[in-house]
Structure 1
Amino acid sequence: MTWSPSLNPTSSMFWSVILALLPILAIFWALIIRKMPGHLASMLAMAVAFIVACTVYHMPFKLAVFSTTYGIIYGLFPVCWIVVNALFLFNIIVKSGQFELIKQFISGITTDQRLQVLLIAFSFGAFLEGTAGYGAPVVITAAMLAGLGFKPLYAAGICLIANTAPVAYGAVGIPIIVLSQISGLPEMAVSQMVGRTLPLLSLLLPFYLIAIMAGPKQIKSVFPALFVSGISFAVLQWFSSNYLGPTLPDIIAGIGSLVALLLFLKYWKPKKSWKTAGNQTVFASPVNRTPKSLVFKAFSPFLLLTLFIMLWGVPAVREHLDQLGSLAAAMPGIHHVLQDPQGQPVAKIIQFNYLSTPGTAILFASLLALPIIKLSFRKAIFIYLATLRQLKYALLTISFIMGFAYLLNDSGITLTLAMAMANTGVLFPFFAPILGWFGVFITGSDTSSNALFGKLQYETAQKIGINPLITVAANASGGVVGKMISPQSIAVAAAGGGLIGQEFQLLRFTLKHSFILLLLICLIVLLQAYVFDFIIPNASSMLSTHQGQNIRDLADIQTLLK
């Protein structure tokens, strides 16, 4: 038996779109209106998706079950595996007492929480996104801010918003690499085009974060620091994406902006230190007397994390680890049974690359840090079990959301909504980022969104007569602001900020900011298409080189989607 989805199952595009929206509206209703915990909201949305897929799209019930199960498996591994180990690493730092030294060190740099947000959520978070990705940056930075005395809701919400600018180049550039392979455009050209959009967002983001935290009036008193943080990040992101490729922008911009701000704060301080109301942080003055050896010891788990993640990112190392420990099997009941709209069979392979996944790198870094931070292996086991208990509902939410996402994609629901946006004609450049935003909202991943819509963006641009680089890159650029409201990201941030069961508060916090920043990117892309088209890189000059590269096959790309 084979089955192919229909993009217009009711023969009326209007009604097909209305019915396709029902699962999306269900999860918003459950989280925002009914204030359901994330795992219950995701179960409800999955049930609505099941009904629409089976009754409207006539997807066979068994196929819908297998599709959802495939997504749940992917949610458990590698996504949940990464989240659990990232929070475990932070928990061992806390339980060993090392986080108290980290707090003293950071307060020695500045007691101003506006500047702490720039250092941790913006710069350090971007660096983690560039190395690990997959939700690890939000888990770690949200937990760090909460540990520094930030209100948990603000800690998690601010980290979600701060983690927008680096998403397109996350996990050593995988979203851009996949987008290039799917669209057929040169990797360097796509990297350059995205790198001529997102630096504008990166420059504004520090100011935007402080306006959210403290109000617009507080911007003036820390304007020099905001400018240093934003301009250093934006310039380094632009330079590395345009001249070095897609693998290093987050790492270079994250470290560069962190170092630039640290150096700047040696010579400049705000006149008054600012803290959120009700904050329990007690450090009184930014005088750092913590011995450097103790500071190094306290940060050693993060340093080991960086080392292991960067090592795991080396292709030769990753391939060797896959040879040593990796399992793959076709998903029964759905592999090559599901067909795409063109009638081609879709591979559904369960990849259990348990050694090369970033989650294992994080676990190894945590275990290696134990003797350095003087924590016994026995105590670490208890901390790991406590971390699993802490995350039990978050893990359910992530798994159900991934099942929901795969069902939407496999049934054709997602493509119906995408085709509706693609039929907007000359206005499509404005809607192209919305397509990427929607894809990340559904899947929780800019990589998956790029794989899902990259070719559609290319073909639509050709039909309306504009450069495909504009809309293809817009998919990645728009996707970054969908990350903050993706149910998967909300669940991860809630886990890091200690807000499990209160996901609705996080979604309410981030929703309007996602729309505001999305509108900004839509306007930028529209201007790129019809006014500032001179900034578009010349892809034709790179095409021959691109075509001569050793392009990954379909199985490799599907592995990258994870």
Structure 2
Amino acid sequence: MFHQILDPLTNLWLSGLVALVPVIVLLVLLAGLRWKAQWASLVTLAVGLGLAVLVWRMPVVQAVSASLDGTAQGVLNNLWLVFNAIWIHSMTVKSGHFEILRRTFAGLSNDLRIAAIIIAFGFGTLLEALAGSGAPVAICAGMLISLGLNPMKAIVASLVANTAPVAFGGLGNPVTMLGRTVQLTDGTGISAETFGAMIGRQTPFLAVLIPFVLLLIVDGRRGVKEVWPAALVGGVVFGAAQYLLSNHFSYQLTDIFSALIATFAVVIAARAMRARSTMAITEAVSTVGPRADDRGITGLDRLVAFGPYLIVIAVFSCAQIPGIKDWLATLQVTFPWPALSVESATGTPVNTSFVLNWGSATGSLLFVAAVLTMVLLRVSVPSALAAYWGVLTQFGWAIVTILAVFSLSYLMNFSGMIITLGSALAQTGVFYALLAPVVGWVGVFITGTDTGANALFGQLQATAAQQVGASPVLFGAANTTGGAMAKMVSPQNLAVGAAAVGLVGREGELLRRVIGWSLLFLALTCILVFLQSTPILGWMVNGL
């Protein structure tokens, strides 16, 4: 049994700083020294192993086992998901239906800047609501490239747009995890619905800004100057929908309906602007084909082209029906991960079981949707298998990056480095409200998911809140909202996006292009959460 050490250097601040070293190394190697992601992630994993063994005194065998556990989790919870999601997309391309999709989106506006908002912000949110884990970034970037956008701009725009829906992504899975994780000192818990309502009082403010940032990415200041009304409508409607749905309807369905409502609003705004001749295409922006291209495409053709995504919605919706959900939950195998036995610093056994939920895993549901897509689009079995092989070869070295970072996240968690880092930040007292979102940001950077960050730090946030006399609901929500700001810079997401658009090896450049936006959004989130912890905006927490 390995007993975690909270403060191995007998100075919590110093121990916390050392626990941050792997994150710093990864950032420096990727953005500073411009290493390729696979080598940067492998070196960082080696640094993490060294720290776990030498500083946190984790036995070598257990440290290696923890890393291999992360590798297995990466295959099940990331690669299996992303491969199947992009396989669906690949079959739409090979069958010719992606061209119909492209023309349909192009027909909504003949301005690529508007198309970027509709696809990356609207359609991307819908995909994030259903799957996540990099799939929305990969698919939306491919669509934008097909409309004439530069590949690097396409992936940057898709990464930034993927910020707004992350907190409620995967049918609200990060919020659900937060509700399961948090327990107060009196033994009571906080419902996921309560956390969802508080998150819905934070994310809308940032969602309003996303469409404007997309315009800056696609066409600079001129883009904002010329089509700001559509961006404003899209951001405000999306933010309002997020607030209303999360507070008065269902946090699980927040992203789905917010995406549909906001997309409809942007299309209406775009058509109104075109009618007033305010949508002229500028020479710096690629145009899509003329509307005449749409001749010969019937309504049924469009329905079939959107069919794969409708199938995904149907499959995931069916998986939530109580009887089916319970049955899927039985299709799993749980076993203790070998050579890994951990006890927390407080003496509580740490769950090291591996749950192979082959029936209910998101990747498995996407596989079912992919098979149904193959039937709908009349793709032959050999062609479908060739498409899957194409997805695997497309990722190449990105697979190494994804698995190495997953290995690092599990190593840092089981060794105690994660809880050391979080506990050090929690020592800042009343100013912790400024840092609560930063904890979530670090969690998502390491794990690649908001759900993972909440599993790691949800309880820590609630405990810190009670220690400083703040609202556990506020700090738990801050962990989720702050974490969403790191999705665009998480190495896993960068690797998936780069692989999808043929930019493997340029993850460092991607990181340099998006990290500024990530840190800006994080700073704004920190200020918002701090104000919500004071009488200035404390009324926003009332009633929760």
Q: TM-score if structure 2 supplies the norm length?
A: 0.94
Q: Secondary structure at the match of 1:429?
A: helix
- Distance across 2 between alignment mates of 1:466 and 1:234: 26
- 1:201 and 2:206 correspond: yes
The match for 2:192 is: 187
Aligned mate of 1:292, from 276, 279, 299: 299
**Aligned ranges 1:248-397 → 2 under 5 Å:** 248-269=253-274, 270-274=278-282, 283-284=289-290, 288-289=294-295, 290-323=297-330, 325-334=331-340, 337-397=341-401
* Deviation of 1:432 (Å): 0.6
Instruction: From the superposition, tell whether residues 472 and 41 of structure 1 become closer, same or farther in structure 2 (CA, over 3 Å).
Output: same
Q: Deviations over 1:271-325 (max 9, x none)?
A: 3125756x5x6514588433222222222222212222222244432321233x3
Q: Distance in 1 between matches of 2:282 and 2:168?
A: 32
Q: 2:458 aligns with which of 454, 468, 472?
A: 454
1:310–1:392 CA distance, 2 compared to 1 (3 A): farther
Work out the CA distance in 1 between the residues paired with 2:155 and 2:420.
Answer: 33
1:172-197 deviations in Å (ceiling 9; x for gaps): 11111111222222322211111111
Kindly tell me: are residues 523 and 111 of structure 1, through their superposed partners in 2, closer, same or farther at Cα, counting changes over 3 Å?
same
**Which amino acid letter does the alignment assign opposite residue 333 of structure 1?**
A
Distance 1:34 1:131 in 2: 36
**Match in the other structure for 1:167:** 166
Amino acid aligned to 1:529: S
2:244 alignment partner in structure 1? 239
Distance 2:246 2:397 in 1: 38
Query: Is 1:229 matched up with 2:234?
Result: yes
- Number of aligned residue pairs: give it: 533
Distance across 2 between alignment mates of 1:521 and 1:427:
14
For the residues of structure 2 that align with 1:249 and 1:57, how far apart are their CA atoms? 41
Name the residue aligned to 1:550. Answer: none
Corresponding residue number in structure 1 for 2:186: none
Matched, 1:470 2:474: yes
Q: 1:343–1:362: structure 2 CA closer, same or farther, 3 Å change rule?
A: same
1:519 aligns with 2:523: yes
Structure 1 residue matching 2:178: 3-state secondary structure: helix
Q: Is residue 132–residue 309 contact of structure 1 (8 Å, CA) maintained in 2?
A: no
Partner of 2:60: 61
- Secondary structure at 2:335's aligned position in 1? strand
Q: Which residue in the other structure is 2:107 paired with? A: 108
Alpha-carbon distance in 1 for matches of 2:223, 2:193: 39
Kept after mapping to 2: 8 A contact 1:86/1:139: no
* Structure 1 residue 363, shift from structure 2 partner: 2.1
**Once the 2 structures are TM-superposed, how far is the Cα of residue 328 of structure 1 from its aligned partner?**
1.9
Q: Does structure 1 retain, via aligned residues, the 8 Å contact 2:37–2:508?
A: yes
- C-alpha distance in 2 between matches for 1:352 and 1:155: 35
Q: Among residues 444, 448, 471, which one is paired with 1:444 in the alignment?
A: 448
CA distance in 2, matches of 1:372, 1:445: 31
Q: Is the 8 A contact 1:109 1:286 kept in 2?
A: no
**Contact in 2 for aligned 1:326/1:354 (Cα 8 Å):** yes
Alpha-carbon displacement from aligned partner over 1:450-497 (angstroms, at most 9, x marks no partner): 121111111111221222222111111101001111111111211222
Q: 1:224-267: per-residue Cα shift (whole Å, max 9, x none)? A: 21122112111111001001232111111011111222333344
- Distance change >3 Å, CA 110–CA 401, structure 1 → 2: same
**Residue 429 (structure 2) pairs with residue 425 (structure 1):** yes
380-389 or 352-361, larger mean C-alpha shift: 352-361
Is the contact made by 2:153 and 2:217 (CA closer than 8 Å) also made in structure 1?
no
Structure 2 CA distance for aligned equivalents of residues 425 and 320 of structure 1: 46
Match of 2:14 in 1: 15
SS at match of 1:328: strand
Deviates more, 1:14-23 or 1:469-478: 14-23
- Matched letter for residue 32 of structure 1: A
- The answer on whether the counterparts of 2:31 and 2:512 sit within 8 Å (CA) in structure 1 is yes
Secondary structure class of the residue paired with 1:498: coil
Quote the offset at 1:154 in angstroms.
1.4
Structure 2: 5+ residue stretches without partners: 183-188
Letter in 1 for 2:179: S
SS in 2 for 1:522: helix
In the aligned structure 2, how far is the partner of 1:230 from the partner of 1:59?
47
Q: Do the aligned partners of residues 151 and 418 (structure 1) sit closer, same or farther apart at CA in structure 2, a change above 3 Å counting?
A: same
Please, which moves more after superposition, 462-471 or 56-65? 462-471
Are the counterparts in 2 of residues 37 and 503 from structure 1 also a CA contact under 8 Å? yes
Residues 346-374 of structure 1: per-residue CA shift (max 9 Å, x gap): 12122222222221222222222224323
Q: Secondary structure at the match of 1:351?
A: strand
Query: Which whole-Å CA distance do the structure 2 matches of 1:391 and 1:436 have between them?
Result: 28
Q: Secondary structure at the match of 1:58?
A: coil
State the AA in 2 paired with 1:526: F
Give CA deviations for 1:482-523 in whole Å, capped at 9, x if unaligned: 111111111121122221221111111111110000000011
1:43 is matched with which residue? 42
Give the letter for the 1:353 counterpart.
N
- Aligned equivalent of 1:140: 139
Partner of 2:122: 123
Secondary structure, counterpart of 1:164 in structure 2: coil
Q: Which runs of 5+ in 1 are unaligned?
A: 540-562
Verify the 8 A CA contact 2:458 2:479 in the aligned structure 1.
yes
> Does the 8 Å contact 1:143/1:497 carry over to 2?
yes
Q: SS at 1:370's partner residue?
A: helix
